[in-house]
Amino acid sequence: MAGFRTFLKSGHTPTLFAAFFYLTFSFVIWVMNGAMAPFISEEFNLTPAQKGLLLSIPIVAGAIMRFPLGLLAQYVGRKTATLVELALICFTMAYGYFFVQSYDDMLKMALLLGVAGASFGVAMSLGSGWYPPKYKGLAMGLVGAGNAGTAIAALLAPPLAQAYGWQTVYGFAAIASVVPMLVVAFMAKEPPDRDEHAKIKDHLACLLEKDGWVFSLIYVVTFGGFIGITTFLPTYYYDQFGVSKVQAGQLTMLAALMGAVVRIFGGWISDHWGGVNTLTVVLVVVSFALVGVGLSSHSIVLTTLLLIVCFAALGAGNGALFQLVPLRWPTSTAVAGSMIGEIGALGGGLVPAMMGQSKQHTDSFLTGFVIMAVFSVLMLGVMRTMQVRWTRTWAEKGGRARTA
């Protein structure tokens, strides 16, 4: 406990909380269509492929918007960029409440929802910017626990949709967006780690570096898997096991919440044990768990247990990877984090579409789960090869922060 107090004193706690709250709300909005997918699908009588497309668009759109928002934050400040994004989220929710009438309108709404997914890199950099390198993993883990917004959406959106209509949920969200705006405006303080004199080519350097792309592809597994599977799970439970729409959301919440909470542990243990070591264990567990989920489609209990294990590993992996990012790019964490988050989320955007295609063409989701497991194993091999150079240049053995 004394160590945690020391951690809090080493940075700016109100900013850390504001960044966490902002990210949590953004994730609630980002996966809202996924949480309400059984209602939307019933309203418009969607095929599996149409469902997959509808759920993929917010993830892909959010991924594409991440890097521009991260770049903007380097120039106008992360706090300002955050407030701009929250205003856009409010507009998006108002559009969903007043103007969505057809499946084509839903596709437009799905595209607009991507603005909420752009928050990640900025929130992580805002919250951790006040903390020294030895605490970056824990700070980013705490902010990244805002992934719990996926669990909140899965828990609250279905019963609200059932009671008031799924479109009314957008209206509730538009009103609620005022709260994170006020929290950020009055609690957040711009961190001092932004290089205001850096040129755009300095910020974009991570795009041209092999390390940036390796981190991004690993993040396709950890975060892409997390957001992609979370978005698809209500549909999976509803279609595969015939549970109610509300029960599908509750079961999704169990897995998503596990991933969000364990992210904190992933950041903390990576500060002590090293991000590379942690990711090694994560990628092995994820690959076995995904294959297990695909093979356990006959048992809802076994599926749920395996998903909880899988999401725990994914959450730890997200925390571990972002323990490494500020060590590798200490002065441009927002941009590097946004780029990595963008590629990772783009990979996640493929998951619902891939699962929908798998079901439509093979009458099973197994192929989709196996593809994700194989990619996890490939990324393990790439990381273990690259970590030899990492530990010679910018990190200690295992991926810990250098002490000097």
| pLDDT for the residue 40 | 96
Q: What is the 3-state secondary structure (H, E, C) of the chain?
A: CHHHHHHHHCCCHHHHHHHHHHHHHHHHHHCHHHHCHHHHHHHHCCCHHHHHHHHHHHHHHHHHHHHHHHHHHHHHCHHHHHHHHHHHHHHHHHHHHHHCCCHHHHHHHHHHHHHHHCCHHHHHHHHHCCCCHHHHHHHHHHHHHHHHHHHHHHHHHHHHHHHHCHHHHHHHHHHHCHHHHHHHHHHCCCCCCCCCCCCHHHHHHHHHCHHHHHHHHHHHHHHHHHHHHHHHHHHHHHHHHCCCHHHHHHHHHHHHHHHHHHHHHHHHHHHHHCHHHHHHHHHHHHHHHHHHHHHCCCCHHHHHHHHHHHHHHHHHHHHHHHHHHHHHCCCCHHHHHHHHHHHHHHHHHHHHHHHHHHHHHHCCCHHHHHHHHHHHHHHHHHHHHHHHHHHHHCCCHHHCCCCC
C-alpha 341/C-alpha 345 separation (Å) is 6
Domains and CATH numbers, the chain: 9-185+202-394 (1.20.1250.20)
Q: How many CB atoms lie within 10 A of CB 361?
A: 11
Where does the pLDDT of residue 204 fall: very low under 50, low under 70, confident under 90, or very high at 90 and above? low
Q: Which residue has the tokens 């418009």?
A: 44
Give residue 286's pLDDT band: very low, low, confident or very high (50, 70, 90).
very high
* Cα gap 365→363, rounded to integer Å: 7
Tens digit of each residue's pLDDT (9 = 90 or more) over 309-340: 999 999 999 889 988 888 888 777 767 777 78
The share of the chain scoring above pLDDT 90, in percent, equals 62
CB atoms within 10 A of CB 54: 26
Angstrom distance (rounded) from CA 394 to CA 376? 25
Q: Mean of the pLDDT values across residues 2-25?
A: 88
Confidence at residue 42, expressed as pLDDT on a 0 to 100 scale: 93
CA pair distance 297, 371, nearest whole angstrom:
16
Tell me the residue type at 345: A
The pTM score is: 0.84
Q: 6-15, 216-225, 258-267: which has the highest mean pLDDT? A: 216-225
The mean-pLDDT minimum among 55-69, 104-118, 299-313 falls in: 55-69
Give the pLDDT score at 80.
92
Q: How far is CA 366 from CA 79, 229, 234, 259, in A?
A: 43, 13, 17, 22
Rounded Cα distance, 123 and 21, in Å = 9
Could you tell me which residues come within 8 angstroms of residue 377 by beta carbon, excluding any fewer than 6 positions away?
283, 287
29-38, 76-85, 105-114, 135-144: the lowest-pLDDT one: 135-144
Judge whether 401 and 390 are in contact, CB under 8 Å.
Answer: no
User: 44-80: per-residue pLDDT in tens?
Assistant: 999 988 999 999 999 999 888 887 887 788 778 899 9
Does 404 score more than 60 pLDDT? no
Each residue of 155-203: pLDDT tens digit?
999 999 999 999 999 999 999 999 999 999 999 999 886 656 566 666 5
Q: Name the average pLDDT for the chain.
A: 89
Contact 94, 143 (CB under 8 A): no
Q: What pLDDT was estimated at residue 195? A: 59
What confidence tier does 24 reach under pLDDT thresholds 50, 70, 90? very high
Share above pLDDT 70 across residues of the chain, in percent, rounded to a whole number: 95
The predicted pLDDT at position 113 comes to: 95
